[in-house]
């Protein structure tokens, strides 16, 4: 079966272009205590992505959770070269938006389709934070 492409439209919360393989979590992510900024590994006990790396991925999850210090963890991921290529949220909030703005990570939310259903881990995704577009190529 040949790959198919779909374009989702939403709100560009942080500008920029990012592309990579999708890593999708059905659960919110806490960056403080949930993601190691030096390795990019999800370390939160019981999280569905535990042990996986966010580095270079298009990270798709409902929203952030936890402390506002999580914004600085996102910035730390960028500083250590372990940041996601882009982030797609169902509905972002200040922790994720601030972290992405500090780190220059494109961020899109409020899509016209639920990204947790429209995007699967392993899909190739291009995020355009300037235009609020998410292009998904399924395998």
Residue positions annotated with a catalytic role: 67
Sort 80 into a burial class: Cβ within 10 Å, 0-12 / 13-18 / 19+. middle
Q: Report the SS3 class of residue 63.
A: coil
CA distances from 98 to 64, 72, 101 (A): 11, 9, 5
């Amino acid at each position: 079966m040949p790959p198919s492409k779909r374009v989702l439209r939403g709100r560009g919360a942080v500008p920029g272009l990012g592309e990579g393989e999708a890593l999708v979590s059905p659960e919110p992510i806490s960056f403080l205590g949930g993601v190691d900024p030096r390795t990019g590994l999800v370390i939160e006990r019981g999280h569905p992505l535990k042990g996986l790396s966010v580095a270079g991925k298009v990270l798709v999850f409902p929203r952030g959770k936890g402390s506002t210090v999580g914004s600085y963890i996102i910035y730390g991921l960028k500083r250590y070269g372990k940041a996601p290529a882009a982030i797609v949220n169902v509905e972002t909030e200040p922790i994720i938006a601030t972290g992405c703005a500090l780190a220059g990570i494109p961020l899109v939310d409020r899509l016209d389709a639920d990204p947790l259903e429209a995007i699967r881990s392993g899909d190739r995704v291009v995020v355009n934070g300037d235009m609020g577009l998410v292009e998904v190529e399924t395998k």
